[in-house]
Structure 1
């Protein structure tokens, strides 16, 4: 005797998302659709792990992967522009069940610092805006060091001039870690005196000091 399924199969629901994503359309009736998808996966005893890198969640008018998504009403504000954040609502439980993270993890911080790096590269001098500097300083207060997976060439170390630099630059002594503020000020004063006496066509020296937190810098030195 043939019977009808009480709930749609997960494969059918995922196929609907694939079609909607290709068309640039939102999911149908999201408030019912995502809980139904979670229920179907559980009924079929399927792990959500294999869906982590599939763009099935809909956040801020775009489809993103559960691996990328942060589902939390208390997500750090500095991440909002760099990471897909679902800041609470009726779908929070469903998104978490599908693999979104409840707290910021390495992949989210990596995405944030890559976002900072991209903005720095828009400027010839790798200078951030005041808003971007504020977001970066907030990130420093929330982490103890560079996240796993962040490239050594990414520019995320903020100097006292508002420029950002990479771990590679720090390790090559191309700018200074400001563990000794008095020395940093003396070096900048010496550079200023040298510039006042230099010949018109001599190259100007530049001394920048890292302004990020000591905890972040101590972690950056590892390796």
Structure 2
């Protein structure tokens, strides 16, 4: 018995705790990412400067490039950070074939985005800039829209068989519509944060959508 336990313990991957210089490097990378978000949000990708980002975190350009080898690599890390935050916070759960729960998470993500104006504004600026085929994020945004529609369709499709979404619902169209409308509301909010609430507008939209496609006509406000 003890031998078996020992063998299992030996086979179990050891958890490496990052301390000392490793932990400091992780903290510095995080600071760089947050600073890059602010720069990309304010000036866009093309007009943001690696030396200026470096200066804002107390590094030389060479010091910054020790953590991120190029401006393109820094941009990729920023976009990856945003995606990781969104997926882990809002769409990793089992929705148990309840479309209202899913639509509720769309509204919850809008509330989170509104609480992170720098990150959200950066994303809006980069999305507009990336229509240029030479932009380093062009392919990312192309793939982003397709992958989000695919993922949302995968969540919504079983709900038709489960009887919680109306028969004949075009889940891909619903997913694409949500993406387009939320992105549009986000642009409006970025232009006028004082008079526009991103969460409220998205909440009201997905509430109406939920009532139109759920079999029992439930909405988020119920």
TM-score in same-fold range (> 0.5) = no
Q: TM-score when scaled to structure 2? A: 0.36
Higher strand share: 1
> Who wins on radius of gyration, i.e. which is larger?
1
Greater relative contact order, per chain length (Cα 8 Å cut-off, separation 6+): 2
